[in-house]
Chains A and B, each alone.
Chain A
Amino acid sequence: MVQESVSFKEIIGDALIDLAREDSRVLVFDADLVNASGLRKFAEKYPDRLIDCGIQEANMVGMAAAASEAGVIPFAHTFAAFAARKCVDQIFLAACYSKLDLKLIGSDPGVTAATNGGSHQGMEDMGILMGLNNITLLEPSDGILFRWMLREVKNTPGVFYIRTNRKEERKLYEGDTTFQLGKGNVLQDGRDVTIIASGIEVYEALDAAKLLEEKGISVRVVDMFCWRPVDKELVIRCAKETGAIVTAENHATSTGLGSAVANVVVNNCPVPMEFIGVTERFGEVGSIAFLQKKFNMDAQSIVKKVEIVIGRKGGRQA
């Protein structure tokens, strides 16, 4: 694994330019955030293929989905905080229920909105959309995966929401890594417990696994970049083979990745589970690392949860 800095802000512009060059059906919508999103580059290259709708996210999403009826492949961007909160009815009606196409991108989810504070820290975007039908929910952990995702959703008819960090990101995957929609990625194998993580929490999970290794605990780490549909087969396999699961997400645990995983676990192979994520609180200003720590989403907090969950294995109490 390579450790090198990339910014999603650059990737999104470059990747969509590539897709637009290859496929004339690609059209991009934004809601007055072309400077913030990195889509300025796309707008300069293809001025007629970026529709800046202004500050009207809901209308943008309705328009974008509707455009697909005439054969357009619509990408639309706004901040993750607004993508679901402001647009859920349009996503439901104009995209999911109508069985049209929409590739919605929400940037700066959860604590990655950092200094913008609570109004901009969407802790609930995936949860709001989790209850809809006919939608795929994704979150990349690194740039290689994000690039792959953009291409994959372009080539796959249907409704997709990608929540993505806009800032600097560590690099996780090699350029030639292959992924599959709906399939989680096992980053390292282990016997005693599985940490199922997504987005920025994947890095915390890997750090936690290292710390746990030193304590003699063997940890499997999964990058579950597809939250809906969640990789049922893999979740069941992890439950069976490691006997305990901790989920880690930059999102409200009440409605996010953890609850999706728990759903599979209780229905198929009940094992002890613990959850890392945002619980019953709003965001506040701070650096990403500070907030991860404050909200108990850092590697140390994961270590604690792993110890608890292992204590509960075999009916034992922590």
Chain B
Amino acid sequence: MKTEEVKKFADKLRYEAYRMVYEGGDGHPGPAFSIADIIAVLYEDVMKIDPENPDWLDRDRLILSKGHACPILYAALSEKGYYGESVEHFNLRKLHTTFQGHPVMGKTPGIDMTSGSLGNGIPIGTGMALAAKLQNKDYRTYVITGDGELQEGVVWEGVMIAAHHQLDNLTVLVDHNGWQSGGSLKETGGVDEIDSKFASFGWKILHIDGHDHAAIKAALMESAGQKGSPTAIICDCVKGKGLSFMENNNDWHKKVPTKEQFEAARGLIEEEKHEL
């Protein structure tokens, strides 16, 4: 495992995503930080991709079903070299930008699926995984979904049919941070017992700390070896993970940092402090 590289990569992604929201003056930092470690492990250490050839048919696919967290994905694509040098100004959510408020396939190289309307990622991932099976392709399809998002009914239609077709080339990572837009999942009334819900449909379940890089890597490897069923990795995450004032504070669901709050990100990237 590329332990050091992944750690550095994750820090850098958080910083870049935060900078993007700060400079763009709009966006969802808490949701982005929640999945920073998952994205870091996937892009730095697991996914079969070719940044110079983003449409390569045999590449692994990533569907960011919780599209509002896209700054962290844009950061990963930038750092992996999809746009040549790292992007200097993303102009997130600004006029004419490549980096829209939610991911748009075809507009932004490296984005494997359009999202932003919650609930669609698992059914879409199911379609991509099914196509791989039917065409004897060995790419894997990864879906990152929010936990609040699981309230959408169509999610469970996808869960049902993916199990029926034994799509063991499909891995869903649930960002289980306990929060959605209006408040906590508990207040809203669901979804609880996520593990047993997926399990009851016949999915392989793994449950990990969503910020532990080694655990994320191990779970992804295990899901790759799974035979006969899709895998759901339930990742216990902290919304806003990485900046103490953001952690578990749902005010940061959609919020732009002040200059001071942005400066606080200094600690995120030790080596590059001077650049701030």
Chain A residues proximal to chain B, CB less than 8 Å: 30, 32-36, 40, 52-56, 58-59, 81-82, 85-86, 115-120, 284-287, 290
Could you say which of A33, A59, A81, A118 contacts B181, with CB atoms under 8 Å apart?
A33
12 A-B pairs besides A32-B148, A81-B117, A116-B116 with CB distance below 8 A are A32-B181, A33-B181, A35-B253, A54-B151, A54-B190, A55-B152, A56-B152, A115-B101, A117-B100, A119-B104, A286-B95, A287-B95
A136 to B131, CA, bound (A): 42
Beta-carbon nearest neighbor of B114 in chain A = A119
Total number of B residues with any Cβ neighbor in A under 8 Å: 32
B225 at the binding interface (Cβ < 8 Å): no
Q: Are A82 and B104 in contact (CB under 8 A)?
A: no
B164 at the binding interface (Cβ < 8 Å): no
- A285: which B residues are within 8 A, CB to CB? 93-95, 97, 100-101
7 pairs from A and B in contact (CB 8 Å cutoff):
A32-B151, A33-B182, A36-B181, A54-B190, A81-B117, A119-B116, A119-B117
B269 at the binding interface (Cβ < 8 Å): no
- A53: which B residues are within 8 A, CB to CB? 151, 188
A117 to B116, CA, bound (A): 9
B5 to chain A, nearest CB (A): 32
B10 to chain A, nearest CB (A): 26
B76 to chain A, nearest CB (A): 19
Do A117 and B148 form a contact, CB below 8 Å, given A36-B181, A59-B153, A285-B93?
no
Q: Are A30 and B117 in contact (CB under 8 A)?
A: no
Rank and list the top 3 A-B pairs by shortest CB-CB distance, nearest first: A119-B116, A117-B101, A54-B151
Could you say which of A52, A55, A115 contacts B93, with CB atoms under 8 Å apart?
A115
Could you say which of B102, B188, B253 contacts A120, with CB atoms under 8 Å apart?
B102
Could you say which of A34, A58, A82, A115 contacts B182, with CB atoms under 8 Å apart?
A34
- A33: which B residues are within 8 A, CB to CB? 181-182
User: Which chain B residues in 135-164 approach chain A with CB under 8 Å?
Assistant: 148-149, 151-153
Q: Are A85 and B117 in contact (CB under 8 A)?
A: yes
- A56: which B residues are within 8 A, CB to CB? 119, 151-153
Q: Are A55 and B101 in contact (CB under 8 A)?
A: no
